[in-house]
Amino acid sequence: MSTQLELKYFDLNGRAGAIRMLLDYLQIPFTDSIIPREKWSLYKASTPFGQVPVLLVENGKFAIPQSTAILRYIATKFGGLAKSPEEQALCDAYAEQIQDFIMAVRPWIWTITRETPNQEKEEKYISVLLPAVQETFVPIFERQLRSNESGWLIGDSVTWIDFFLADIVDKLVHRLKPENVPILENLVKHQKKVFSLPNLEERIKQHKELSGKPWLDLLADEEPAAEEEEYETAFEETENEDDDDDE
């Protein structure tokens, strides 16, 4: 009997982009349940951690929260796991590094998901986002891709971490200023390699459309203004500003 899967998230990429791509690549049928923006407060209490995405398994018998946990589950169950425990540990390590990057750029993310003066947005772009991209994110992942030589992040074949990395790089391409995008050149090559995998054509088309939504933004938010609060907090996979543990 096939496993019944239902993914609950919003009509955007956010934290679910890599999950959808991995499921499509593996040709795993799933119900993509879109939560209406205005009804998030009604859904929140039904989720394990008050956050989405959530993957419901076997008609809701199991509810799996946290995007990286969902990616690992899919890979373990259906394919896309690394070939050895050591390689899988490296996949986990690079996933944690991506999460660290997301945490590091949170002050910038807040400026673009709220009504923030342009001067403050520019200041955070220069002082927070660019240093994080240039000094940690790009060098770490470039070095690994260069040393691995297969074109994939870990091992000699595509794994779930490739989808996670490609999705984040795609988000950065949409958010960096044009003059800064070239710093992602080598990571974009990997992103395009992932996006050209079989079974992804329709999903990538939708992925690009969702990336253009002005309110998508991108990775997270925690303390949005008044009426947006319940909706925006769902993008972040932490409970509140005083609790920075992701999983």
218 in Cβ contact with 171 (< 8 Å)? yes
Q: Are 211 and 170 in contact (CB under 8 A)?
A: yes
User: Which helix (DSSP H) or strand (DSSP E) does residue 142 occupy?
Assistant: helix 138-148
Rounded to whole angstroms, the Cα distance separating 76 from 60 reads 19
Series of mean pLDDT values for 10-residue runs along the chain (247 residues): 84 93 98 92 93 94 96 98 98 98 91 86 96 96 97 98 97 93 97 97 84 45 34 41 37
Per-residue burial over 205-238, b if 16 or more Cβ lie within 10 Å, else e, is: ebbeebbeeeebbbbbbbebeeebebbbbbbbbb
Query: What is residue 213's predicted lDDT score, i.e. its pLDDT?
Result: 54
Q: The CATH number of 85-195 is which of 3.90.226.30, 3.30.460.80, 1.10.1200.10, 1.20.1050.10? A: 1.20.1050.10
pLDDT of res. 208? 74
pLDDT of residue 50: 94
Q: Residue 215's pLDDT is what?
A: 37
Name the residue among 186, 152, 133 with its Cα closest to residue 80.
152
pLDDT of residue 226: 30
Give the pTM: 0.86
Cα separation, 206 vs 5, whole angstroms? 20
DSSP state of 240: B
